[in-house]
Chains A and B, each alone.
Chain A
């Protein structure tokens, strides 16, 4: 079995702050991480590698700095890593991103494509399903479990009020939940390996793209403005002991006619 895992390097959004004066994003000092759902997807691929000897290729589209994340994937156990990097890809929305990734996927050999459900910097959950559409593949999103009997995949898909069991044979694309696949740590041997292995760098001309569909040019959606969210006016803060705290809460609940 050959598996292609799509991963993305993202800023750790829990570490992002807004500059109170300029109202812009403070990016300095914000660590870049492998997107958590993508890491869950890589974990699923590596579990299949452990069980069935699958060959795992990771691919990302991003700036040259994404090399670090691909080496982390090597250290976890990935066999091959591809970095799609070119100014022509820049400014891509989800449709242009999925077009580029699907184009790259067409030149590779795989039985299964795995992506994370969504990336924490955009939270769109679109690139996986859009790739599946470009490639004409069946998709299952929100994957929380998977079994493979040598012929068909049986998948547990999480829903709002429970789960579904879905099944398909042949090639397909899955989008995976991080919470269902707790990722393994890098091994010492893996880390050493990670710097001996080669990350393949692919520019746009490596693939027969329709360039009008790449990057900003190929993106139907345009960001026309961005701004910091106005938070509402805070109420009063009391530093009190537990008894006083209870009094304050009870009077607030009475004021709101809850009790």
Chain B
């Protein structure tokens, strides 16, 4: 493979119901750094139906060029339809680097495209950089449940593909005066391969904010014990204007829904304050929250690994601390 034919940093600009996802803007932010180091351009690829108006937004956040594929086949995300479109974009424009959000869509689509292209894909990268001396693309990711970090390269195949979880990279500040190019691309679809049909999409009622967007998280682990224990955490969260999240153990036990799980197999969060209540702090949990601005840990076990990352560590029974704290904060807030 002649690598020199491939250049520029491409981002799959994931949209849902016409709304560009935050992770796409974060990836464009990162792509700007990479493109600057390589002396190349940032391309965003926007697939969907009736989505062309979002192209300007991608430019405001740092894309130099937006490739728009506006087609009825792409109204909803379905693996094969999106793979066909994205594959043809890659073959036509030959990117050197191609980034996806590690969402349920990105993690479904990226491996399918990587296999169609016969190239490598590195999942859930936490750091992407261009080496200073050799200008090679280096992708760093956690392995073994976050116990180890591995730096991975894809030296002989192009594009070099990676996925990045939402919340890991930083967006650029939007600049409404930024200029960019918009290209409309029309792939040829082979509908004989469209064997999966979408019957319906159901959004589950959520009165709450996505935990990765929350400023304050009240997170519970094994020490909370049961479903009723989480009611106390919810009360505390309500008083401080936060959301409730949990460790994997509580999700596996069925005490909390999966979308509340923090950690390697859950979500990556970096709130202003993270309350770790009765969470021992297995490495895969720490991997999802250690970037939090301030970590307050309460645990009965003074040897719990969570204390190694806590800004404030309290060895005490959370079940006595939480109700008292809730009452006290109610008074503080009323002041």
Nearest chain B CB to A65's CB is how many angstroms away? 18
* Given contacts A13-B144, A122-B143, A226-B149, A95 and B216 within 8 Å (CB-CB): no
Q: Is the CB of A225 within 8 A of B150?
A: yes
User: Which chain B residues (49-101) contact chain A, with CB distance < 8 Å?
Assistant: 78-80, 83
Contact of A126 among B114, B197, B294, B329 (CB under 8 A): B114
- Let me know if B104 is at the binding interface, CB within 8 A: yes
A133–B240 alpha-carbon span in the complex (Å) = 48
Nearest 10 CB-CB pairings of A with B? A13-B145, A220-B120, A133-B115, A221-B120, A237-B313, A126-B111, A129-B111, A124-B123, A130-B115, A220-B157
Q: Is the CB of B265 within 8 A of A164?
A: no
Q: Which residue of A lies closest to B248 (CB)?
A: A14
* Given contacts A165-B200, A229-B146, A249-B296, A235 and B329 within 8 Å (CB-CB): no
Contact of B120 among A93, A127, A226, A246 (CB under 8 A): A93
Interface of A is mostly: mixed
| Chain B residues within 8 Å of A226, by CB | 143, 148-151
| Chain A residues within 8 Å of B80, by CB | 138
Q: Interface of B with A (CB < 8 Å)?
A: 78-80, 83, 103-104, 107-108, 110-112, 114-116, 118-124, 138, 142-157, 195-204, 206, 210, 216, 240, 251-252, 258-259, 264-265, 272-273, 282-284, 286-287, 290, 293-294, 296, 298, 302, 307-317, 320-321, 324-325, 328-329, 332-333
| Chain B residues within 8 Å of A165, by CB | 198-202
Nearest chain B CB to A130's CB is how many angstroms away? 4
| Chain A residues within 8 Å of B309, by CB | 231-232, 234
- Let me know if A123 is at the binding interface, CB within 8 A: yes
Q: Which residue of B lies closest to A254 (CB)?
A: B332
* Given contacts A129-B108, A179-B258, A236-B313, A223 and B150 within 8 Å (CB-CB): yes
Q: Is the CB of A14 within 8 A of B282?
A: yes
Kindly state the interface size class of chain A when it binds its partner. Answer: 35 or more
Q: Is the CB of A121 within 8 A of B154?
A: no
| Chain A residues within 8 Å of B142, by CB | 123, 229
Q: Is the CB of B283 within 8 A of A249?
A: no
- Let me know if A188 is at the binding interface, CB within 8 A: no
11 contacts between A and B (CB under 8 A): A95-B121, A126-B123, A141-B108, A158-B258, A162-B202, A164-B202, A223-B151, A225-B151, A226-B149, A249-B321, A252-B311
Q: Interface of A with B (CB < 8 Å)?
A: 11, 13-14, 16-18, 25, 93-95, 98, 118, 120-130, 132-134, 138-142, 154, 157-170, 172, 179, 219-229, 231-232, 234-243, 245-246, 248-250, 252-253, 256, 258-259
* Further pairs besides A223-B151, A234-B313: 7, Cβ < 8 Å: A14-B284, A142-B104, A163-B202, A168-B196, A235-B310, A236-B312, A249-B296
Q: Which residue of A lies closest to B323 (CB)?
A: A242
Q: Is the CB of A25 within 8 A of B315?
A: no
Question: Between A and B, how many residue pairs show CB distances below 8 Å?
Answer: 266
Q: Which residue of B lies closest to A37 (CB)?
A: B265
Nearest chain A CB to B237's CB is how many angstroms away? 13
* Given contacts A13-B144, A164-B198, A256-B273, A132 and B103 within 8 Å (CB-CB): no
A144–B122 alpha-carbon span in the complex (Å) = 25
Q: Is the CB of A133 within 8 A of B107?
A: no
Q: Is the CB of B147 within 8 A of A13?
A: yes
Q: Is the CB of B264 within 8 A of A123?
A: yes
| Chain B residues within 8 Å of A124, by CB | 111, 121, 123-124
Q: Is the CB of B196 within 8 A of A166?
A: yes
Q: Which residue of A lies closest to B265 (CB)?
A: A123
* Given contacts A162-B202, A252-B296, A222 and B152 within 8 Å (CB-CB): yes
A125–B123 alpha-carbon span in the complex (Å) = 8
Q: Is the CB of B147 within 8 A of A246?
A: no
* Given contacts A162-B204, A235-B311, A121 and B145 within 8 Å (CB-CB): yes
Contact of A125 among B83, B111, B333 (CB under 8 A): B111
A125–B251 alpha-carbon span in the complex (Å) = 19
Contact of B333 among A220, A249, A259 (CB under 8 A): A259
A239–B108 alpha-carbon span in the complex (Å) = 47
Contact of A95 among B115, B153, B251, B332 (CB under 8 A): B115
- Which of A158, A159, A165, A220 has the most C-beta atoms of chain B within 10 angstroms of its own C-beta? A220
Nearest chain A CB to B119's CB is how many angstroms away? 5
